[in-house]
Structure 1
């Protein structure tokens, strides 16, 4: 791994972390938006994860003492974010995706909200867009403009069946990350779910804002929609479900254990959708699921008649 670093500032208030892979068409616009920020001291850490399309040259040509570039062979987005976390110096952290868009001044606005609410984690809202001009909010059922402990947020999200786990919704206090030794689990997909669950399980102070300062562009041609990637996604869901169950079993999480089991069952619904319609190696994925997850643990997450029917369907398909 190579590190290209400009002169450091004495005090860095926000670290902005962006993993990039073949993002030459979009990354320059996003960098320009971020580096236009002058009201808060930032560092921009870009991890070039083995790009082959000239992304690295575009980034290296930018002269700004707030920019840090990490060059590494392709290891995946979660390894890239861990590499940035290892060297960041900001008091707060924001994660972005290279192909999305942000509002002008959003870093300063997020930082102000985090400071004013004395939160460990602030969850913002965003717009979701597809190929057309219409847009919809990423979430609609959160306890907006409220502060609550992480465990209470888990209860709310599970009860309302809305789990806004996207990393680019968050600004997180660096000391909170370090205090709880938080990191991204290895893998290629869906580990942002686990990052957010670990944030909340650590039971810090959360604040929910309905401010939509980010535009998430749904890309039908992204790797997650490729047919040869569905098996990877299914395996990742198995790992996510197994880790949620592990957390549910811990004594320190006994007050939210039931809600974690319920959420594991929700993620199992996502897994089954992939398994039934898209997975190629059904024998191998079925075997992995049965070795990693017990029916008894998922049964503990049943909360409705619909859950009962789903549970029967799930294990009917996996027998």
Structure 2
């Protein structure tokens, strides 16, 4: 791994972390936006995860002392974020994607909200857009303008069936993440669900803001929509469901265990959707799901007749 740090600053208020892979065509606009911020001290950590399109050269050509570039062989987006987390120095941390857009001054606005509310984690809103679709809010059922504990937020999200796990919605207090030894689990997909869950299980102070300062662009050509990637996604959902159940079974999470089981059952629906319609290696996925996830554990998440019918359908498909 190659590591290039352009400059050292005594106090960094916000670390912005962006993993990139072959982002030469999209990265410049977002970086320019970020580096226009001069009201607070920031560092921009870009992890070039084995790009082959000259992304690294573009970043190295940007002469700004706030840029930190990590060059590594391709290991995946979560390993890239972990590499940045290990060296970041900011009091707060923001995760972004290279191909999205943000409002001018959004870092300062997020930082102000976090300081004012004395939160450990602030969850913002965003716009979702894509080819042929109108702009829509990423989430609509959050308790905007309110502070609540992580466990209260879990209960709210599970009850409302809205789990805003997107990393680019968050600003996180670094001492909270470090104090709870939070990091991204390895894998290729859906581990942002677990990162956000770990943030909430640690039961810090959450604040929800309806500020839509970010635009998430749905890319139909992205890897997550490729047919040869569906098996990877299905496997990742097995990982997610198994980990949520493990968290539910910890004594320290007794206050939210029921809601974690319900959340696991919800994520199992996503697995079944892929398994029924898209995956190629059904025998391997079926065997792994059955080995790692028990019927009893999933049944603990039942809260409606619909859940009962879903579980019956799931086990019929996997039997």
Give the structure-1-normalised TM-score.
0.99
1:270-302, CA deviations, whole angstroms, 9 ceiling, x for partnerless residues?
000000000000000000100110000000000
| Deviation at residue 133 of structure 1 after TM alignment | 6.4
Shift of 1:134: 2.0
Pairing 1:278–2:278 present:
yes
Deviates more, 1:69-78 or 1:1-10: 1-10
- Note the 1:162-311 alignment, pairs <5 A: 162-311=162-311
SS in 1 for 2:119: coil
Aligned residue pairs: how many? 319
In structure 1, what is the Cα distance between the partners aligned to 2:116 and 2:37?
19
Q: Tell me what 2:49 maps to.
A: 49
Q: Is 1:67 paired with 2:73?
A: no
- Asked if 1:22 is matched to 2:49, the reply is no
The structure 1 segments of at least 4 consecutive aligned residues displaced by more than 4 Å after TM superposition are none
What is the DSSP-based 3-state SS (H/G/I as helix, E as strand, rest coil) of the residue aligned with 1:3?
A: strand
Deviation at residue 132 of structure 1 after TM alignment: 3.5
Gaps of 5+ in 1: none
Report the CA distance between 1:214 and its aligned residue: 0.3
Partner of 1:313: 313
Aligned to 2:11: 11
CA deviation digits over 1:5-32, x for unaligned, max 9? 1111111000000000000110011100
- Structure-2 separation of matches of 1:103 and 1:277: 38
The alignment yields a C-alpha RMSD, in angstroms, of 0.5
> Where in structure 2 are there 5+ consecutive unaligned residues?
none
Give distance in 2, aligned partners of 1:7 and 1:303. Answer: 54
TM normalised by structure 2 equals: 0.99
Q: Secondary structure at the match of 1:57?
A: helix
Query: Structure 1, residues 15-67: CA drift from partner, whole Å, max 9, x if none?
Result: 00000000011001110000000011000000000000111111110000000
